[in-house]
Chain A
């Protein structure tokens, strides 16, 4: 289907079902239950899941296929956001031109940064991209925001004011919209104790994620994708085989930069504000974590990793001592205090600690990321089937590792 083989079609359908049914899947607990804490089906959180999913899918095209580890991809995310907000300021709150411009501008920047950074490989490449991203951050934070020439609005962040021209606005709404349909519009479905939110912005992002994912699958299975894997495997052989690895890596860099720009544009489309902190090196590090945690070089891994990290960031960070007290209230006082003392550093503001430990565990035990974990479990089940004779067992034994 759609030029994909059976296995890839299955993966695409899985992603489609997951994204389309996300409002249900992420809200498994009734609103009033004590576990409602773990619900993640809020519009803004779901939007972030898919937007960072797009960011990670793009990053994976560069890092997963060619092995070039960029530490500066947040720069493109930020550039995408700034471009989108400028479109809102100049044209109107329609998100289509904003998203289009964010992809184009991020693409142009990545041509320049990629052309220079890709002259080196390995750690030197990573450092060069990091340097570029930090320069971009500082430009956005201070240099490009002075009274004479205010491109980024510095610390405050770029936003839309009533005095902005918005030449094409006409009678359009005062919030971001797609041809009149407001991004923030949400339909709430109440079902018994449960409530599910269906948000326009989320579904727009989810559809774009599906298209981005489909394109990335096609790239993975194309001759171009094969050449990118050849770069990772043996660049020397590639050059002695008559292939110029430089344009291949540059193309991968620009494609992933455009994905990052798209993600940045979508962030601004959901909330028309662009700040310099979006370009900081921690943001670049985050996408690296997402990709590795999910499984670099796999199709679905980056999406999983992005969802995982964003979930932790937003849900675990909200568990404070009060919440812990209600959880352990049934226990005797001494025990309750003891447990809270132990759990305390890992939740709330300490969620980074939990994430760090988990990241270490994944990297040490599952170097292929969460996807490898899933495959291991799958194989465990299949091995049981494989003990049975017949063609099914035979097929299970032959299943190659990804």
Chain B
């Protein structure tokens, strides 16, 4: 029984079958990559996991509980955090506040009326925020407005926000899209380090095969809304069906 169990999930948008009978199991403490050509349904699948979309059929179980029908904030409180394809951060707030908010959310729950407490007098939260920022090498930018960061820094910030909650499952939607090769390698190192430091399960959607093969322990190939194969990276590389559907074009 995996940490995340997706069974017979289907989703239609009008006449388009975005997901068709998807079965997927993500084992605890693994890095599971989902790859597939554009329009294969990867993002739709992720949206079904965080409550943004509700699948038409099937079930999604996380840690023994169903996530279907729950609100996004409830799903996050269960232990699922997501990094988006375009970084979703609090642009008007400082880097420091951006990381504090998820830590507050983790500690105090979905709503807490601390209207007369001072933000910075909460030593516990401040220390955890500083540690997290140090982990991603962003302490020097703590007072910058998040909107003024470079794209790469925004991604790192978003990752820090998700990791600060110590989620059981981290969903990453193309974490290196639009990054230069050096930044991509930094991100890979960062993710490897995180994986090494704590028990975390990751589910990555990625186009960059370099990233996928450096990180993933298990790969699922999605094509036209259905899983084609699921196997270890070594077997995926040589799989004829996968070459035909996807890798062949990418010349890996």
Contact = CB atoms under 8 A, between A and B. Distances in A.
Interface of A: 3, 215, 218-219, 221-227, 229-230, 232-234, 236-245, 247-248, 251, 255, 400
A238 B98 CA distance: 10
B131 to A, nearest CB: 18
A223 B122 contact: yes
A234 B91 contact: yes
B116 A237 contact: no
A342 B227 CA distance: 77
Contacts of A218: 115-116, 118
5 contacts: A222-B118, A224-B117, A239-B72, A242-B102, A242-B109
Contact of A230 (B72, B93, B112, B113): B93
B102 A222 contact: no
A238 B143 CA distance: 20
A309 B50 CA distance: 48
Contacts of A223: 104, 108, 112, 114, 117, 119, 122
Closest 10 pairs between A and B when the two form their complex, measured CB to CB: A242-B76, A244-B110, A242-B105, A233-B90, A237-B88, A224-B115, A233-B92, A247-B111, A239-B72, A223-B114
Question: Interface majority SS on A: helix, strand, loop or mixed?
Answer: helix
A5 to B, nearest CB: 9
A228 to B, nearest CB: 10
A226 B115 contact: no
Given A226-B100, A227-B101, A237 B89 contact: yes
Contacts of A233: 90-93
Interface in B80-107: 81-82, 88-93, 97, 100-102, 104-106
A400 B105 CA distance: 28
B76 A240 contact: yes
B89 A222 contact: no
Contacts of B50: 240
B111 A238 contact: no
Contacts of B220: none
A230 B101 contact: yes
Contact of A242 (B92, B106, B114, B116): B106
B90 A230 contact: yes
A234 B73 contact: no
Interface in B106-155: 106, 108-119, 122, 143
B161 interface: yes
A224 B69 CA distance: 28
A205 to B, nearest CB: 23
A172 B147 CA distance: 60
Contact of B114 (A222, A239, A241): A222
Contacts of B112: 223-224
Contact of A400 (B92, B122, B143, B165): B143
B71 interface: yes
A248 B111 contact: yes
B contact residues, range:
35 or more
B72 A234 contact: no
A259 to B, nearest CB: 13
A114 B52 CA distance: 25
B117 A237 contact: no
A276 B195 CA distance: 64
Contacts of B25: none
B77 interface: yes
Interface of B: 50, 71-73, 76-77, 81-82, 88-93, 97, 100-102, 104-106, 108-119, 122, 143, 161, 165
A240 B111 contact: no
B88 A236 contact: yes
A240 B88 CA distance: 10
Contacts of B90: 229-230, 233-234, 237-238
B105 A240 contact: no
B101 A241 contact: yes
A227 B100 CA distance: 10
A227 B90 CA distance: 10
A243 B90 CA distance: 13
B112 to A, nearest CB: 7
A244 B74 CA distance: 8
A222 B117 contact: yes
Contacts of A245: 73
Contacts of B81: 240-241
A176 B111 CA distance: 41
Contact of A234 (B77, B89, B105, B119): B89
A238 B81 CA distance: 12
Nearest to B144: A400
A215 B118 CA distance: 12
Contacts of B111: 243-244, 247-248
A3 B118 contact: yes
A237 B165 CA distance: 14
A243 B110 CA distance: 4
Interface centre among A3, A218, A223 (most CB of B within 10 A): A223
Given A222-B117, A243-B105, 8 more contacts: A215-B116, A218-B116, A223-B112, A234-B88, A238-B101, A239-B76, A242-B165, A245-B73
A240 B50 CA distance: 8
A232 B88 CA distance: 13
